[in-house]
């Protein structure tokens, strides 16, 4: 289904972006920028590590530069939901920043400055030559959306007095290695195998609803929504 396979998935690694948050109304720019900084630091740094071969500390510093660019530019104003998925928009922004940074460092090196060692082996990117960094960003985005939907499912089911449903769901999808047999879960939770099957079906349906709600405001319309959900759950559902 694409849910995490271990309990070690970092929480909030790359949460969904709400278009209303990145296209703020008057007086809400600071709050929206705070959302950007909080939500995009980890995935942006993963992208920059993959693109430039940087250490974690170097990528963190470079992210700060990227965020300054966001603060000083018109990044939020150009984030237009009519253009499609925000994930794609962010990739473009990061690739442009990456290219600018490579050129700046190359110019610094030619001028006698000492370029960072990690940059020495990194060529100027060719068109379409960002599969590694973009794959890192995609993986981070997927992991966090799944993680957030999983957490929302837990909260919703427990709020509705269905904690047992979530416990079965959790133990089935977060089991290390292969998922346990229904009989094993039934014995563990004092249920019948029919209960286990029903619990998994209902919790899975709720999970899909939560995931859909998370994705809905990051895309242009129904077609993009279906495509994004299919991509997120490409391992099967």
Higher pLDDT, 195 or 22: 195
pLDDT confidence of residue 108: 76
pLDDT confidence of residue 129: 45
Containing 42, the helix (H) or strand (E) segment is: helix 29-52
pLDDT at 82 over 80: no
Rounded average pLDDT over 6-13:
36
Higher pLDDT, 76 or 186: 186
In the block, tokens 């286990």 appear at 196
pLDDT confidence of residue 155: 96
> pLDDT tens for residues 94-119?
888 888 888 887 887 766 544 443 33
Containing 111, the helix (H) or strand (E) segment is: none
- CA-nearest of 84, 92, 22, 19 to 225 is 84
pTM value is 0.63
SS3 25: coil
Q: Which two tokens mark 74? A: 């018109």
pLDDT confidence of residue 23: 56
Q: Which two tokens mark 53? A: 């071969």
pLDDT confidence of residue 219: 73
pLDDT at 41 over 80: no
> pLDDT tens for residues 125-141?
444 444 588 888 888 77
**Confidence at 232, pLDDT banded by 50, 70, 90:** confident
Higher pLDDT, 232 or 207: 207
């Amino acid at each position: 289904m694409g849910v995490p396979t271990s309990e070690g998935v970092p929480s909030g690694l790359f949460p969904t972006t709400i278009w209303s948050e990145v296209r703020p109304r008057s007086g809400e720019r600071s709050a929206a920028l705070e959302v950007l900084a909080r939500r995009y630091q980890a995935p942006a740094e993963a992208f920059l590590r993959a693109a430039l071969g940087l250490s974690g500390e170097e990528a963190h510093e470079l992210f700060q530069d990227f965020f300054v660019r966001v603060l000083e530019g018109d990044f939020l104003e150009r984030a237009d939901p009519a253009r499609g998925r925000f994930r794609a928009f962010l990739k473009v922004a990061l690739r442009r920043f990456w290219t600018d940074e490579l050129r700046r460092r190359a110019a610094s090196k030619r001028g006698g400055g000492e370029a960072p060692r990690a940059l020495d082996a990194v060529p100027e990117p060719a068109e379409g030559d960002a599969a590694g960094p973009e794959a890192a960003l995609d993986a981070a985005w997927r992991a966090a959306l799944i993680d957030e939907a999983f957490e929302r499912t837990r909260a919703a089911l427990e709020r509705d007095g269905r904690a047992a449903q979530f416990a079965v769901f959790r133990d089935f999808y977060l089991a290390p290695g292969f998922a346990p047999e229904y009989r094993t879960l039934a014995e563990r939770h004092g249920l019948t195998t029919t209960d286990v099957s029903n619990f998994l079906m209902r919790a899975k349906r709720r999970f899909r609803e939560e995931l859909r709600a998370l994705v809905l405001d990051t895309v242009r319309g129904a077609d993009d929504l279906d495509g994004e959900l299919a991509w997120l759950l490409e391992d099967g559902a």
